[in-house]
Amino acid sequence: MTHLLSDEIARATARLAAAGVPSPRADAEELAAFVHGVKRAELHTVPDAAFDARFWEGIARREAGEPLQHITGRAFFRYLELKVGPGVFVPRPETEVLAGWAIDTLHKMDVGDPLVVDLGTGSAAIALSIAQEVPRARVHGVEKDPKAYVHATRNVEDLDERGRVRLHLGDFADALHEFDGRVDLVVSNPPYIPMSEWEYVPEDVRDFDPAAALWGGGDDGLDAVRIIERTARRLLRPGGWVAVEHSDLQGHPVYWIFAEEHGWRDVRNHKDLTGRDRFVTARLGTD
């Protein structure tokens, strides 16, 4: 029996939609592309006779709530294809805006070889994007979780052709003292969800992403951000910048974490592609 791939994708889309998957058509097409070894835009090149029934295994796993990226083992971030899976946070599209700001800021700096630190690097998505798009940047990624560190190491080995990214296994609270006062930019997508929001977090996030990458600590979920503020203040040179992601409801409290009395200047909220507050940036004063 010949299976028209377009018909199978349509059936899969209906199943995923009925299961409450947020992007059923996109997920069905991505799974079809993965199983058949092509890019999503190349699905039309797959002959009907080449239909692979393993497609339905992937659909069943997604239907049951497993993240798409865990099934395919890959995630796309800016211009990168990253290896991901259990034990590492799957990078989200909104974080691409944070990375884009960091890249644009580095291009504007009058620094020949900018020194960058990515705190809580996870899959190394931000670190690798900066290294790829700012070729002279030297990027140091810090990750505490050993499982996430393994994923980051694989991605750096595969994608860091210029050798501009170095990884460090450790806590970002006391990381990289050898760079104190010398760093041009600190960037981080830290854990920031308060435990009080547990029931509102999508199941495929709270059940599959590592807890250490989700729950930020403290009643407001911002203890990790407070640690980043202190670490960034230690690492940055005068005039250096920090950029920290947060939830769309945390822009105001994160803004005030980077207080003027701690030396911060030009503190600003930035929005993501949906127009919601997504990250805060600040410059360490020179006075």
Residues noted as catalytic: 89, 189-190
Residue 34 is assigned to a ligand binding site:
no
Task: Give the helix ranges, DSSP H, for the chain.
Answer: 5-18, 24-36, 54-63, 68-72, 93-108, 125-133, 146-159, 203-206, 223-235, 251-257
Report the phi/psi class of residue 27: left, alpha or beta, with left for phi > 0 and alpha for psi in -120 to 50.
alpha
- Strands 74-77, 80-83: pairing is antiparallel
In angstroms, what CA-CA distances link 2 with 13, 129, 245, 268? 19, 42, 48, 57
- The answer on whether 255 is annotated among ligand-binding residues is no
Instruction: Classify strands 183-188 and 277-284 as parallel, antiparallel or unpaired.
Output: unpaired
| DSSP secondary structure letter of residue 215 | B
Which of 60, 65, 1, 64 lies closest to 31, judged by CA? 60
Question: Is residue 190 annotated as involved in ligand binding?
Answer: yes
191 is in an annotated binding site: yes
SS3 at position 165: strand
189 marked as part of a ligand binding site: yes
Region of 145 on the Ramachandran plot (φ > 0 left; ψ -120 to 50 alpha; else beta): beta
Q: Which residue has the tokens 């994160």?
A: 254
Known binding-site residue numbers: 143, 172, 189-192
Residues annotated in a binding site for S-adenosyl-L-methionine:
143, 172, 189
